[in-house]
Structure 1
């Protein structure tokens, strides 16, 4: 049951991110170009599993995203706000389909399931 809630939570984050992105009238071209950008962090796995997991998790937690969105709002920086919303949409999309934070054992091991 908890796994279902994590998927629903991911869907909610994705939908809200899309809503606020559209509401702000940001470029949809930019959205689709940057949507998968956080997955560049997977290149850390070329070094080893531990560095790969740490780098991936850094780019796939909401902590930095919330700071980017907050700074965008506080400083009225539309670019930061757009990037933060795209980034949160990416994380929400990942959670919705079952990709979670990685364990250092293997790329397939994450907090939601073994993919």
Structure 2
């Protein structure tokens, strides 16, 4: 099981790298937004103020690749109609994918409803399942 988690972390690191490359190549004047907006996506953790289950739902709703993909789709489909919207959506897609990728690379996976530290990548702060 440990090797699967390692592969998922390597994939996430690739997303981080591709997000930075895309931001610098496509939006050279706006690349810094991916760093400036980094903590914005962690506002989704406010659900943990209510309960671990509510926190897991709010965190997982934001910390997945579906929304950056949707934002990238908006960027691609609006480039000729509205360059401003396209740029905003593209920068948002890069920033969002960057954030999710960094979290996953560091082991902050999708949350399980039992506790913040329980994720699909194993326990945060632990070493997941150990080999015997």
Q: Normalization by structure 2: what TM-score? A: 0.83
State the alpha-carbon separation in 2 of the partners of residues 92 and 50 from structure 1. Answer: 23
How many pairs are equivalent?
115
Write out per-residue CA displacement over residues 55-99 of structure 1, whole angstroms, 9 at most, x where no aligned residue. 100101111111111111111210011011110011111111111
Q: Does 1:41 align with 2:6?
A: no
Aligned residue number for residue 92 of structure 2: 83
Structure number with bigger Rg: 2
Q: Does 1:56 align with 2:65?
A: no
RMSD over aligned Cα atoms: 1.0
The structure that is strand-richer by fraction is 2
Question: In 2, are the aligned partners of 1:26 and 1:82 still within 8 Å (CA)?
Answer: no
State the alpha-carbon separation in 1 of the partners of residues 67 and 31 from structure 2. Answer: 22
5+ residue gaps, structure 2: 80-85, 125-132
Runs of 4+ in 1 over 3 A off after TM superposition: none
Q: Normalization by structure 1: what TM-score? A: 0.95
Alignment counterpart, residue 20 of structure 1, candidates 19, 22, 28: 22
5+ residue gaps, structure 1: none
Alignment counterpart, residue 96 of structure 1, candidates 83, 97, 105: 105
Q: Does 1:108 align with 2:111?
A: no
The structure that is helix-richer by fraction is 1
